[in-house]
Each structure stands twice: as C-alpha cells, then as structure tokens.
Chain A
C-alpha cells in the first residue's frame, strides 16, 4: 500500500513540475517526487538510503521556494499539451510497469518510468532555467531510485549521489550569453 501511494505521490510531484512555472508549484513538485520515491523504496531498501532521496527532494524544494518566478503559476494559458503529457505518461507508465513487465516492484517501475519521462520532456520543452533545473533534480532522484531495479535495494552511492545532485541543482547560478 505504501509503495502504491508513493508511486502516485511521485507521479503527482512530477505532474506539478510539468504543469507549474512558479516556484511554489515547482517546489511542491520536487517535494512530492522525493517523498514519493522514498516511500516506494522504503519497504525494500535501508531507511538511510530511502530517506536520503526524501531529504534531497526536500532541500531542493526549500531552496527552489526562494528563487524563480514568484507564486504558483499553475497551468498558465497554453498548458493543454502539458496536461495531456501528465495523463499519457501515467497511463503509459502504468501499462509498461504493471502489464508489460512482470515480477515484484511494479510501483517502483511505474514511478521511475513516469518521473524520468515527464521530467525529461519538461527539460526539453522549456527555456526557463529554474524550471529546467527542477526537471533535472527530479530526473536525478528517479535515476537514483532506478538503481534498485538491479538488486532490489537502492545503491548507497546512488541514493546519496542522486539526493546531493537534486539538492545542488536548486543552488546553481547560471550565466546567460551576452548579446549585443
């Protein structure tokens, strides 16, 4: 039950990253992805490693709350394709993770596929640095969680590395090219 709830929470978090342009929406999305993936991993992985992902997502969210476009800016005009992406990604991940593939850990497969796909598309489709970096943070957390598909447990190096990378992306300062 916890795993299924975690997968739904991770998908909701990734959906917020896709649908929001404001820092509140992005921060809540990052928190959702971190907590959701940690919940999915909790029954099978050591608490420290699973918790690291939650902490990574929370730190990234806390920092994201302090920079970026103010407010929620949830589903601004022209967001229909993004909404379609969220629904289609959920259905596709559900089909691949629960129907096409077999074995234990369906929640993990669904969560990881949904988050990787949605955050990847978000990064490709947007030009705002804070949005793109939030997508990268989500992708790092999902890639870390995906390592548990190999042995059943998330690798410590991946859990801490993914959490660190996710948290660090919110602190990144960028330079845009100077135009004449």
Chain B
C-alpha cells in the first residue's frame, strides 16, 4: 500500500465528494457548472498537495481563485475575487518576512501572515465570506468545504518547516485562538440564525475551529484529529450541504431516524469519523493545556442542538439523494471504526 499523505487523503476524499455532489445535485444546480468548478478545483488541489514549496501553493491559489471567480457566482466579479487575492497576498508577505534577515519580530509577522492568509483563503474568522440567506452559497462553500482543507494541509505542513521554533510556538497559539473563536462563533451562529442555509455555513466554521485547534496543538493527537475533521468536512458536510439545498426551498423539517443519524454524524457521535476526531482532539488539548480541553468540551456540547437542526433541514431525501446519503453515512462510519489509514497519513 503506498504511503498516504494528509494532502493525498483529503484529495481522495474530495474526488469522492465531487462524484457524489454531481450525482445528487438538485435541479436548481447546473451539473455542468458543478463539474467545471469541481474539476478546476481538483486539479489545483492536486498541484497544491504535491507542490514542493509554499510559493507554488500561492500561485496555484491565485490561479484557482481567478478560475473559480470567472465562473458565475452570486456576487460581483471583483468581490468574489477578493478573498483568494487577500489570502495569496498575505501568504506571499509571510514568505518574504520569513526569508529575510532581520529582527526576530519579522518571523512573528510571518506567522501572522500565514494564519491570516489561511483564514482568508478558507473563509473563516476574521475573514468570513459572505453568507447567503437564499441558499445560493455553493460558490463560497467550495472554498470552506472543498478547496480549503487541501489548502490548509498544504500551508500548515510546509509552514512548520519554514518557521523558526519561537515563531512556530506563536503560530500554534494563533491557530488555537482562531480555532476556539471559530468554534464558538460557528456554533452559536448556527444555533441563533433564522436561516438554515446560513446555519450550514456556520457549521463549516465550527468544524474549521476544531481543525485549526488540532493543527495548532503540535502534538500527534491534534494533527490526527485535525485531519479527521477535515476529512469529515470534505466527505460529509460538503455533500450534505448540496442535499440540504433542495429541501431548503421547501422549508420542510422532519424527525425521521435518517435525519437523526445525519445529526449524529454532524455532531461527531460514535461511530462516525467525527467521534474519533473529537476524542483525539480533547486528549491532545488535555495533554497540552487542560483549560483548553474544557473550552473545547463546552464548544462540542453546544454543537449538539445546531446539529439536530441541520439534520432536520435535510427533510426527506429520495432516489439518488437517499442512496448518496446512505453512502455518506456508511463511509463516515467506516472511517470512524477503522481510522488507521488516516492516522498513518497524519503521522507521515
């Protein structure tokens, strides 16, 4: 069996997610557009995953940003292009500050640039992409739920080798701070908003909060947890968003066992992949700094009601959507029960 890398695992999940997304896309989504958008993103993600330097990741980010923006979207061209350009600009400045000789403070600026660029590219606090109340959020969701995970693994894994040890500690602390902020903001936002489509967007932010905390912990459990969370995001939450978009218009809410199973998957209950991720994250946090584990535990508990809401928003999937939903549940349960391939990828 070939050695798996975090980028490779997420890329494989993205391919499966795109296939599912195209198969289940509701009538309101143009399949051809989805294939183009997803295909362009997959090529860019593949290059990011194998790129040998952060410079290439920045160029690819710019290229995929322009390509995604050139396709149609709910907002003006220039507005859609802002986030990837801000991300690329901040990452480029981070590289400049990290490479020049000078005071130690410059390497800390470099860490700030890396974290800021990543947040802008993915679309989490402090740079949230626009939230659409009418459910037309798929072009933004492609960043936070599809391209973002591979971008994050590409940036964060290379950043560790790039930053000096002192700045690396600051970098981890910033990731954890941003992660906790996104976890709480996403959880409370998903709970309090009146719109299901916005609640879905906030749910991505909450998951990103967990992933950022995991990456920031710099212990093996944290890295593995982050990778598992991102895997569940790409091959779980992202296709579910597409399934949810069809009934969103009908505003139907159902409490069938299937909806409760989906809610359990979104909340990270056993035996789904999110459960292993949360256990590993809490263990890593407790090992590093116990109060952080307490904060994360509170955030995870707060996440239960929004998960029930999102599960109910799926209404009654039928036909291909029901098959896809069953497949997603099975895949997530399989990874939750046998996470060894992903654990080994995180170790590599």
List chain A positions with a Cβ less than 8 A from chain B.
100-103, 109, 112-113, 116-117, 119-120, 123-124, 126-129, 131-133, 135-136, 139-140, 142-144, 146-147, 149-150, 155, 157-158, 161-162, 165, 168-169, 172-177
Contact = CB atoms under 8 A, between A and B. Distances in A.
Interface stretch (B69-77, B276-284, B339-347): B69-77
Nearest to A129: B77
B37 to A, nearest CB: 12
Contacts of A149: 95-96, 99-100
B59 A174 contact: no
Given A120-B89, A165-B62, A177-B72, 17 more contacts: A101-B100, A113-B93, A116-B93, A123-B81, A124-B86, A126-B78, A127-B79, A132-B85, A139-B85, A143-B55, A143-B59, A143-B88, A146-B55, A146-B95, A146-B99, A158-B56, A168-B63
B101 A133 contact: no
27 contacts: A101-B100, A112-B96, A116-B92, A117-B89, A120-B85, A126-B78, A127-B76, A128-B78, A129-B78, A131-B78, A132-B85, A136-B62, A139-B89, A140-B62, A143-B62, A144-B59, A147-B55, A150-B99, A161-B59, A162-B59, A165-B63, A168-B66, A172-B66, A172-B70, A174-B70, A175-B71, A177-B73
Contacts of A131: 78
B213 to A, nearest CB: 29
A102 B100 CA distance: 7
Contacts of B78: 123, 126-129, 131-132
A147 B57 CA distance: 12
A26 to B, nearest CB: 14
A98 to B, nearest CB: 11
A126 B77 CA distance: 11
A112 B99 CA distance: 12
A58 B191 CA distance: 52
Contacts of B69: 174
Contact of B85 (A102, A129, A135): A135
A143 to B, nearest CB: 5
A44 B296 CA distance: 50
Given A174-B69, A177-B73, A155 B85 contact: no
B167 to A, nearest CB: 15
A169 B66 contact: yes
Contacts of B29: none
B103 interface: yes
A132 B81 contact: yes
A157 B56 contact: yes
